[in-house]
DNA sequence: CCGCGGGCCTGAGAGC
DNA sequence: TGCTCTCAGGCCCGCG
């Protein structure tokens, strides 16, 4: 499900429930998600204060008073919801909020502020892992990640260098988290469309003969910035699974110009093309062959 | 090292 | 109604 804007939306929703609160109780309702939970998973969380909730690429990162960091990834179908539901739970008896139980609720956090935070993930491509903050730089899950697309390090020059010599398509390069971290299939399609750049173009062609960024590269970076910022402002995109932690849907899906719009007229003013779909590296690409070059 | 295809899971929707 | 097939917002792994 979630790309950077959805993860950022989830982070903002979880922040008030987590930051500054203590984790009083953790319940894992099965032995694994994508990977088995660490044997000491609950013990390392229980009683710890959450001092901050950040995001790196598509990872949520909760800083704990113990010096650990809880990494959380939503995979394709993961979501969190925050249940405050005063009076619904029976203190000291069954902690899980009655009537709030849903299929695929895998992890529950009970916070000292009364919030109950539930992680739900039907497909279980999501996962959680606790690591020591001191070991963050060596964490394999984070080690190879490229720059944040909304951070200062990501610009046309950087992207041009990162794609230099790449024989693969621009679409595949932008999906490669080592090049830039946080984009997924939807926002890559949308950014390429907005920049009028073809997903089939060789990644290395962002550079001119001297290796400098082309105007196309500049346009592409601007389009990535714009589409991500607009999607975050809209609370992300809700296709199947994504919800804000409040349960509200994001609404950026209504602003898609090409994603899942095969057969529709190209929305570029003056373009008479039609939105097409084809499969690239096993994923659907949506684009307008007429105005994306 | 690089790029690609398969696999991990469940559920929704289309077509018969 | 119900079966089967395809596809889905991610990412790791093994192969050539």
User: In CATH, what number is assigned to the domain containing residue A259?
Assistant: 1.10.8.50
Query: Do A29 and A86 share a structural domain?
Result: yes
Q: Are residues A16 and A124 located together in one domain of the fold?
A: yes
The CB density around residue A237, as the number of other CB atoms within 10 Å, is: 25
Q: Which tokens hold the place of A292?
A: 């994306």
A192 falls within a domain: yes
Distance from residue A90's CA to nucleotide C7's C1', rounded to whole Å: 42
Q: How many domains does chain A have?
A: 2
Q: Mark whether A121 and A162 lie in a shared domain.
A: no
Kindly state the helix (H) or strand (E) to which residue A24 belongs, with its residue range. strand A23-28
Q: Which of A138, A171, A189 is the last residue of a domain?
A: A138
Catalytic residues of A, by residue number, are 2-3, 58, 283
Q: A177 with A111, same domain?
A: no
Bridge partner list, A156: none
Nucleotide nearest residue A175, measured CA to C1': C10
Within a domain: A202: yes
From the CA of A75 to the C1' of B7: give the distance in Å: 15
Q: What distance in Å separates the CA atoms of residue A241 and residue A82, rounded to the nearest whole number?
A: 16
By CB neighbour count within 10 A (0-12 exposed, 13-18 middle, 19+ buried), where does A215 fall? Answer: exposed
Residues by Cβ under 7 A, strand B: A 76-77, 103-104, 122-125, 166-169, 172, 176, 203, 240, 281-282
Q: Which nucleotide is nearest to A9 (CA to C1')?
A: C9
| Containing structural domain, residue A108 | 4-138
Any domain includes A41? yes
Which residues are paired to A242 by β-bridges? Answer: none
Q: Give the CATH number for residue A30.
A: 3.20.190.10
3-state DSSP of A56-107: ECCEEEEEECCCEEEEEECCCCCEEEEECCCCCCCCCCCCCCCCCCCCCEEE
Is residue A149 situated within a structural domain?
Answer: no
Q: What is the pLDDT along chain A (293 residues), one digit of tens a residue?
A: 699 999 999 999 999 999 999 999 999 999 999 999 999 999 999 999 999 999 999 999 999 999 999 999 999 999 999 887 554 443 333 345 556 788 999 999 999 999 999 999 999 999 999 999 999 999 999 999 999 999 999 999 999 999 999 999 999 999 999 999 999 999 999 999 999 999 999 999 999 999 999 999 999 999 999 999 999 999 999 887 667 777 788 899 999 999 999 999 999 999 999 999 999 999 999 999 999 99
In a domain, A146, yes or no: no
In angstroms, how far is C1 C1' from A123 CA? 27
Burial class (CB in 10 A: 0-12, 13-18, 19+), A3: buried
Determine the Cα–Cα distance for residues A114 and A84; give it in Å rounded to an integer: 6
Do residues A53 and A15 make contact, with C-beta atoms less than 8 angstroms apart?
Answer: yes
Domain edge (last residue) among A138, A171, A187: A138
């Amino acid at each position: 499900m979630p790309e950077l804007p959805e993860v950022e939306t989830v982070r903002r929703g979880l922040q008030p429930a987590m930051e500054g609160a203590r984790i009083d109780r953790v319940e894992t309702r099965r032995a694994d998600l994508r990977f088995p939970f660490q044997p000491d998973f609950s013990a390392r969380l229980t009683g710890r204060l959450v001092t901050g909730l950040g995001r790196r690429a598509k990872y949520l990162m909760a800083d704990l008073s113990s010096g650990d960091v809880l990494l959380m990834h939503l995979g394709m179908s993961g979501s969190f919801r925050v249940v405050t539901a005063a009076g619904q739970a029976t203190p000291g008896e069954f902690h899980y909020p009655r009537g709030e139980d849903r299929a695929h609720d895998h992890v529950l956090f009970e916070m000292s502020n009364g919030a109950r935070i539930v992680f739900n993930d039907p497909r279980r491509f999501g996962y959680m892992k606790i690591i020591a903050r001191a070991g963050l730089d060596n964490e394999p899950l984070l080690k190879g990640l490229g720059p944040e697309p909304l951070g200062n390090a990501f610009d046309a020059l950087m992207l041009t260098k990162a794609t230099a010599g790449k024989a693969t398509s621009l679409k595949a390069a932008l999906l490669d988290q080592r090049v830039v971290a946080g984009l997924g299939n939807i926002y890559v399609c949308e950014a390429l469309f907005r920049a009028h750049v073809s997903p089939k173009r060789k990644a290395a062609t962002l550079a001119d003969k001297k290796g400098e960024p082309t105007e196309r590269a500049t346009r592409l970076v601007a389009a990535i910035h714009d589409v991500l910022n607009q999607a975050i402002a809209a609370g992300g995109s809700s296709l199947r699974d994504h919800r804000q932690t409040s349960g509200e849907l994001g609404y950026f899906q209504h602003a898609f110009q090409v994603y899942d719009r095969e057969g529709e007229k190209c929305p570029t003013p003056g373009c008479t093309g039609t939105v097409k779909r084809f499969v690239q590296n096993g994923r659907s690409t949506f684009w307008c062959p007429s105005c994306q070059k």
